[in-house]
Amino acid sequence: MNRPDSARLRRRSLLRAAGVSIALPAFASLRGQAEAAPSNGKNPQRMVCIGNMLGFYPEAFWPQHDSETLSTTLASLADHKRDMTVIGGLDHGLKGGHFSIHAFLSGVRNVDAKSMPDGNMTLDQAAAETIGGQTRFASLTVGSDSGIHGGCQMSWSRAGTRVPPITGPGQLFEKLFVGIAPKDQQKAADRFRMKASILDAVGGDARSIARELNSRDRNKLDEYLTSIREVEQRLENSKQWVDIEKPTAPFDRPTKTNMVDDLPMLYDLITLALQTDSTRIATLEIGGDFEARDFGYRSGYHSLSHHGQRQDAIDALIKIESYQVEQFSRFLTKLRESEIGDSNLLDQTSVLFGSGMGNANSHTNTNLPIVLAGGGYRHQGTMWFDKNSPHRPPLTNLYLTMLQRFGVQTERFSTSTGTLRGLEWV
């Protein structure tokens, strides 16, 4: 082959590839990417993950080992004791304080992602990959884009990119209920066609140079084409929803006030997203613009979390954290009261509540506060693992269990060593 033409072809392929604004995945299909099990006519499983950026004051969060009485912070969950398990002693074995809380749902810090087969992909995104076009939104990520350490960074894709959050009730409402005007529908359809044609061009040019490559480079090319096919599938999944009307809104668009006052509405909207099957996966991160001043305190929430054993700061923390649990309890009640067939949303939804911070005052990421609710598990009230034992399982074992409960056919997630012993479902 004429080398100058070959060089031009190769350069043209690279330019076209660079023109496609996509973040390529880590080619997991070559490792046997997990797929969701068929529902067999049963109600589909759902998953909601709620994280707090600053953790919980440990002495008020953890129940006594030998008592069935809930702790001060968790007291408002009393009505859900049969549907929840407080899990103590688990973490990801990480250090880094605030810089490790973003590994809450992955078990992997962003800086360490390149050394892992699936990067720092989070639990919610691993489940979302198996949804395809079954719902309008593969997942919903809700949180703040302001505050300490860059705002909401709880959800990460397989490609190692942050999933940007929906930042308030108004924006979430519009995403769920506000339709697309006819003129915008045509624009959206045109965008899909344009993206598809660009991907076709990239794929065609890549194939045309395959015969020039050695065996190792052909493998790399195959990986690249696999990633293109995955992007094409995502486009196809999104395209089918352009002409389908969104559900009717049950109330007017809410206005954003502050994260504290907006929290109940955010939970209500997530409930509606599940009820309408707009999505089956959602995450909510509490932090960023969740401010202590909205409780009447002059100190910031972050400052209070570094209480230095000052009783006034500890009392303020307990009040703030108890409020978060109260709204979580209210959310569980809403799910339980949402009947679907012979069941309800709570039985069909694995709800994780916790934090990637174990103790903000000491900046430690050990013994993470974890509550698992709903999902049809055989809940035990409390599960304790010896936090000092070298044989205790990683928190990712719980996540693997949740993925399998969701219907994902996989035997591994991140740093997991197996499913979490003692946790089963009906």
Which residue type is seen at 191?
R
- In angstroms, the CA 79 to CA 329 distance is 8
- Whether the CB-CB separation of 375 and 49 falls below 8 Å is answered with no
Q: Burial-class residue 306 by CB neighbours within 10 Å (0-12, 13-18, 19+).
A: middle
User: How would you write the pLDDT of the chain (426 residues) with one tens digit per residue?
Assistant: 444 444 433 333 332 343 433 333 333 333 334 445 444 457 899 999 999 999 999 999 999 887 789 999 999 999 999 999 999 999 999 999 988 999 999 999 988 998 898 999 999 999 999 988 899 999 999 998 876 556 678 999 988 888 989 999 999 999 999 876 555 556 655 655 655 555 566 666 666 777 777 877 776 666 556 555 555 666 666 666 777 888 999 999 998 889 999 999 999 999 999 999 999 999 999 987 899 999 999 999 999 999 999 999 999 999 999 999 999 999 999 999 999 888 999 999 999 999 999 999 999 999 999 999 999 999 999 999 998 898 999 999 999 999 999 999 999 999 999 999 999 998
Half-sphere CA count of 220, side-chain side, radius 13 A: 7
The domain limits of the chain are: 1-33+182-244, 45-179+247-406
- In angstroms, the CA 302 to CA 52 distance is 12
Instruction: Tell how many helices (H) and how many strands (E) occur in the chain.
Output: 11, 9
- In angstroms, the CA 153 to CA 172 distance is 17
Query: Nearest-5° angle of CA 44, CA 336, CA 350?
Result: 45
**Fold exhibited by the domain 45-179+247-406:** Alkaline Phosphatase, subunit A (3.40.720)
Sign, Cα dihedral of 255, 256, 262, 264: positive
Is the pTM value of this prediction over 0.95?
no
- Whether the CB-CB separation of 361 and 307 falls below 8 Å is answered with yes
Start-to-end CA distance of the chain, whole Å, equals 64
